[in-house]
Amino acid sequence: MDRMAMPPEEMSGGGVTIRLGEYVEPQAPTHVPILSYKIDIAGRAVGEVRLRLGDSDDLKRYFGQIGYEVYPAFRGRGHVTAACRLALNVMRELGYEEVWITCNPENFASRRVCEKIGGAHVDTVDIPVGHVMHEHGILQKCRYRVVL
């Protein structure tokens, strides 16, 4: 896979625009570069979608390669689903053939987003004792695989 392609600065679709806000150099806890995109609706930032660029087991099992957040006032309107579809296009452009997304088992809204964007629930894994997530009280993650 060619991962040297430049990521798009901006992408629009489904009533949403994602704009590259920053490139984060590898650092703990993921140790991979991150592209952080702002989710924009009609000129207003409503959340973020983060692309973790790597293929490590830690990403695929626990952190996920795409993370997202929508600000509370904008939840339940499909903005994250639209933004994640755009994020999948970015990952495809960067040469990925599949993407792993994880979420907490009790986060039904996030699980629904994964399903809406074509993610197949693969399994739910226990976070190992000593892992940074376990230390923060996160004990399990649902794993979704999206084939691009």
Q: Judge whether 73 lies within some domain.
A: yes
The confidence score (pLDDT) of residue 6 equals: 84
Where the chain has pLDDT below 70, the residues are 1-4
Q: Judge whether 1 lies within some domain.
A: no
Question: Can you give the pTM of this predicted structure?
Answer: 0.93
Q: Which residue segment(s) compose the domain that 80 sits in?
A: 10-147
The confidence score (pLDDT) of residue 4 equals: 56
Q: Judge whether 79 lies within some domain.
A: yes
Count of structural domains within the chain:
1
Question: Domain of 24: which CATH number?
Answer: 3.40.630.30
Distance, in Å, from the CA atom of 115 to the CA atom of 18, rounded to the nearest integer, reads 20
The confidence score (pLDDT) of residue 1 equals: 38
Q: Judge whether 2 lies within some domain.
A: no
Q: Judge whether 5 lies within some domain.
A: no
Q: Are 3 and 53 in contact (CB under 8 A)?
A: yes
- Residue ranges of the alpha helices (H) in 12-123? 57-58, 79-93, 108-116
Backbone angles phi, psi at 21, to 5 degrees: -95, -45
Digit-coded pLDDT (tens) for 52-67: 999 999 999 999 999 9
3-state SS assignment for residue 31 = coil
